[in-house]
């Protein structure tokens, strides 16, 4: 507030108190507008210029302005996956981004206002589901097509980490209101990020809120918080050093969590320190949907320098040729270096657009 008042005083002095000049000061010539195809100088009134600039830079409620710039997208460090390479230069225009992940309270307002029913609350369509499975896959029992979603189920002992079906369980009745299934609740967790959200659900919320999902490039740029050649949103300091920086799996995944960060599943938003742009939970807590299709070799197709890339036009995932997938970023409360270092700013994840999981949520963006 002090800086704002000081700036306002200086501009008022420039506009009204300083000696008048015969010619408009040089600054005013930098502010132009287009009228009927010609360039026209705006008012040389500094106060008017300031007010116009200040008002257009005000963020939406609950959002922060991410200033445009360029950065090196991707990674080639020892933990980087093939789909994070090669590093390439990307220029991003300024945009707004939600300060936090969308919370249970925020999503409830949307549902109350629209009556929206999430993917996990609907019966599965075998016709649509079969399109994402190998040809000839037999139809499952009708009981498996009832409203359900995937819930984390820890093991009792150490297991091989090459089959994630060993720690995910298909639970009937699991959805955003009951993240672990019947008997679980979000009451008392209004400030936690909403989960069990599909890409389709996130898009519906964005439309209602007059916002959009961030592009993958915007998300990574924002996650870096203005830092250069960093690994995490907070810099390069290893996760285990210093105070808790995020909500992830502390211990031996998926059977022992020491709770060093204070939480077994989701944490309230704003629990940990924000990054340089004032964004919370850009690492850990829940995975966040991006707008882009996922393509494992997308970075190979980009030029060495690109401006506001919007992602590929289709999904390509050799691990699941039939699945049409969208990008997820940021990691979750289940991430651990032994299995998934998803909290690295360059880490890419993917899932089908109609899949909700207990560790999947989103945040919104908005263009200027």
pLDDT, averaged across the chain: 86
| 8-state DSSP, 174 | -
Question: Which residue spans of the chain are classified as CATH 3.90.1580.10?
Answer: 63-367
Across the range 32-45, mean pLDDT stands at 36
How much is the pLDDT for 16?
Answer: 39
pLDDT in tens, 325-334: 999 999 999 9
Cβ atoms of 53 and 10 within 8 Å: the answer is no
Answer left, alpha or beta for residue 225, where phi above 0 means left and psi between -120 and 50 means alpha: left
**Which pLDDT band holds residue 25 (cuts at 50, 70, 90)?**
very low
In the predicted structure, residue 338 carries a pLDDT above the cut 90:
no
pLDDT in tens, 64-84: 999 999 999 999 998 899 999
Burial profile 236-254: b = 16 or more Cβ within 10 angstroms, e = fewer? eeebeeeebbbbbbbeebb
pTM attached to this predicted model: 0.82
Tokens of 2: 């002090």
pLDDT in tens, 254-266: 999 999 999 999 9
In the predicted structure, residue 1 carries a pLDDT above the cut 60:
no
**Which pLDDT band holds residue 129 (cuts at 50, 70, 90)?**
low
Q: Fold for domain 63-367?
A: 3.90.1580
pLDDT in tens, 262-286: 999 999 999 999 999 999 999 999 9
* Sequence-ordered list of residues with C-beta below 8 angstroms from that of 123, at least 6 positions apart, any chain: 145, 146, 147
**Which pLDDT band holds residue 23 (cuts at 50, 70, 90)?**
very low
Task: Report the alpha-carbon distance of residue 15 to residue 28 in Å, rounded.
Answer: 11
Cβ atoms of 337 and 317 within 8 Å: the answer is no
How much is the pLDDT for 28?
Answer: 29
Task: Report the alpha-carbon distance of residue 179 to residue 196 in Å, rounded.
Answer: 6
**Which pLDDT band holds residue 290 (cuts at 50, 70, 90)?**
very high
**Which pLDDT band holds residue 357 (cuts at 50, 70, 90)?**
very high
Cα-Cα-Cα-Cα torsion 340, 345, 347, 350, nearest 10 degrees, comes to: 100
pLDDT in tens, 212-232: 999 999 999 999 999 999 999
Which residue, 169, 223, 232, is CA-closest to 358? 169
What percentage of the chain has pLDDT greater than the value 90?
72
In the predicted structure, residue 125 carries a pLDDT above the cut 80:
no
Q: Are strands 325-329 and 287-293 parallel, antiparallel or unpaired?
A: antiparallel
Q: How many Cβ atoms from other residues are within 10 Å of residue 66's Cβ?
A: 24
Q: Are strands 287-293 and 360-361 parallel, antiparallel or unpaired?
A: parallel
pLDDT in tens, 301-326: 999 999 999 999 999 999 999 999 99
Cβ atoms of 330 and 341 within 8 Å: the answer is no
Q: How many residues does the chain have?
A: 368
* Sequence-ordered list of residues with C-beta below 8 angstroms from that of 366, at least 6 positions apart, any chain: 60, 63, 95, 96, 97, 210, 211, 212
């Amino acid at each position: 507030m002090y800086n704002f008042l000081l700036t306002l005083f200086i501009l008022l002095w420039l506009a009204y108190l300083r000696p008048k000049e015969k010619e408009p000061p040089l600054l005013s010539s930098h502010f132009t507008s287009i009228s009927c195809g010609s360039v026209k100088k705006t008012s040389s009134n500094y106060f008017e210029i300031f007010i116009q600039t200040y008002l257009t830079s005000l963020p939406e409620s609950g959002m922060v302005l991410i200033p445009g710039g360029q950065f090196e997208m991707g990674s080639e460090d020892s933990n980087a996956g093939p789909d994070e390479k090669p590093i390439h230069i990307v220029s991003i225009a300024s945009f707004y981004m939600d300060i936090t992940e969308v919370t249970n309270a925020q999503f409830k307002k949307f549902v109350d206002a629209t009556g929206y029913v999430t993917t996990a609350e609907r019966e599965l369509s075998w016709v649509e589901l079969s399109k994402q499975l190998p040809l000839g896959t037999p139809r499952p029992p009708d009981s498996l097509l009832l409203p359900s979603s995937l819930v984390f189920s820890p093991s009792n002992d150490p297991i091989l980490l090459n089959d994630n079906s060993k720690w995910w369980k298909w639970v009937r009745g699991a959805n955003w209101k009951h993240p672990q299934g019947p008997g679980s609740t979000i009451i008392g967790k209004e400030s936690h990020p909403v989960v069990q959200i599909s890409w389709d659900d996130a898009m519906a919320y964005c439309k209602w809120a007059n916002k959009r999902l961030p592009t993958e490039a915007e998300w990574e740029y924002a996650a870096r918080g203005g830092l250069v050649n960093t690994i995490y949103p907070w810099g390069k300091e290893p996760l285990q050093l210093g105070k808790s920086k995020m909500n992830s799996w502390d211990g031996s995944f998926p059977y022992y969590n020491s709770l060093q960060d204070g939480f077994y599943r989701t944490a309230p938003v704003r629990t940990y320190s924000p990054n340089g742009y004032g964004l919370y939970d850009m690492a850990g807590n829940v995975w966040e949907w991006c707008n882009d299709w996922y393509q494992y070799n997308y970075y190979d197709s980009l030029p060495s320098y690109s401006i506001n890339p919007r992602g590929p036009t289709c999904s390509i995932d050799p691990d699941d040729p039939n699945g049409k997938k969208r990008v997820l970023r940021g990691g979750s409360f289940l991430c651990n270096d032994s299995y998934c270092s998803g909290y690295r700013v360059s880490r890419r994840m993917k899932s089908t657009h109609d899949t909700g999981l207990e560790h999947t949520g989103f945040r919104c963006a908005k263009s200027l």
